[in-house]
Amino acid sequence: MSGDSAAVRCRGVRGATFIDEDTPEAILAGTRELLAAIAQANSIATEDIASAFFTSTADLRSAFPARAARDLGWTDVPLLGATEVDKPGGPPRCIRVLLHWNTSRRQSEVVHVYLRGSDAMRAHDPPSHLASGKRADEPR
């Protein structure tokens, strides 16, 4: 176990990203980018990850996001995937992850990572481009 002699606890680390298209390449590349960013932001060693839970919106069907974790060498990490609730007006083409990380850090010290504008989901109402199914950089 990496870290110092402080008590080790299991902490949740959240992340999300938007995917441009429903292709295996786009899903896996976007998920690898997200997982690498989370690991870098928190200095996470693979052996300290207890498990990972992925969700993806119903419009992403061509690949399992968890496959990207295996591509990164997370061969001993238990992985689980599910489909997000298909709520009308919800953000399209979105992958979310919740990592369970064994660490001596306090929960308040954990860095959550939101890529490609997905941090907007943390607000109460998504921006209009999310509700319309368009990306922020697309014409309205």
Q: Where are the domains of the chain?
A: 9-122
- List the one residue out of 57, 60, 39 whose CA is nearest residue 113: 39
Task: Note the helical H segments in the chain.
Answer: 24-42, 66-71, 128-131
State mean pLDDT over 91-114.
95
Residue 123 confidence (pLDDT): 57
pLDDT (tens digit per residue) in 60-95:
999 999 999 999 999 999 999 999 998 888 889 999
CATH superfamily of 9-122: RutC-like (3.30.1330.40)
- Supply the pTM of this predicted model: 0.80
What span, in angstroms and rounded, lies between the C-alpha atoms of 119 and 105? 23
Pairing of strands 49-56, 79-83: parallel
